[in-house]
Copies of this chain bind each other. A is one copy, B any other.
């Protein structure tokens, strides 16, 4: 179970460790969107994405004798770095299982944050088998990327901040657009808003061909994606929604948005020009939906969660070359 009480407990554990990220605005973006857009810049969070929240929440929520044996996680990117830093700051070991073809920078950064990185071949090896082997006799605790109540509670603290910041800004009626992979952040934010800002409604945003959550919300069943990789929005590509997260999203979220790769690249370029923040394509999908799919937005205002900024410079250059305004 995940609920607001768990989020409030996670907030206490995160206090003084997480960065309260700012809400940014630009009248140029408002003009393109035809409404006010408020961008919650989670790319400015520690390790460059919201993932640090869930990782910290999960690690500090473990019993201390369990935590001290260390943690293990699968990830090629943002979750890896969030878990690595949270573990290091809590003085425990982290082992991250990463695909050997993950970007060199991400592998290097995860190692530099003190984690033991174990590489596996995505084509020929099962990461679960690799993890089991690595974990023999060690008792490392798995920190799941989204389907874990402590992780959802940590991500929900972002929703608490949004509720408070929106209130300060006088925004009481808005769609809150969230880049969505497995739904940990989306469901956490939805729970926080239900309790603290009922006029704000979370809505998941996904890339084309990886719209499992949008389709699941529509059909009411767990839908899967046919493809497993191949989106430039790698940070929000998952096979299907979480067992824990989908029921929450079904109960609380509005319909999903589906955006194209080009929409996301254009949003990356516009965030560069008008907000001066660095987004990865998967961190810019929600901004893209606000800018280019405004007719699907139900509320007066839009709050966009810009979830991450760990982008390959090659992709970033493509975004600027093609879409700088």
Contact = CB atoms under 8 A, between A and B. Distances in A.
A22 interface: yes
A325 B313 CA distance: 10
Interface stretch (A51-59, A297-305, A316-324): A316-324
A279 B277 CA distance: 9
A309 interface: yes
Contact of A277 (B20, B112, B273, B278): B278
Interface residues of A, number: 32
Interface in A17-76: 19-22, 24, 27-28, 31, 41, 43-44, 48
Nearest to A108: B325
**For the complex formed by this chain, how many copies does it contain in all?**
2
A109 B26 CA distance: 11
Given A28-B109, A317-B317, A317-B320, A276 B22 contact: no
A241 B140 CA distance: 60
A40 B104 CA distance: 29
A272 interface: yes
A90 to B, nearest CB: 15
A81 to B, nearest CB: 11
A105 interface: yes
Contacts of A276: 43-44, 48, 277-279, 309-310
B112 A325 contact: no
Contact of A320 (B22, B31, B310, B313): B313
Report which residue of A20, A276, A313 has the largest number of chain B beta carbons within 10 angstroms of its beta carbon: A276
A165 to B, nearest CB: 12
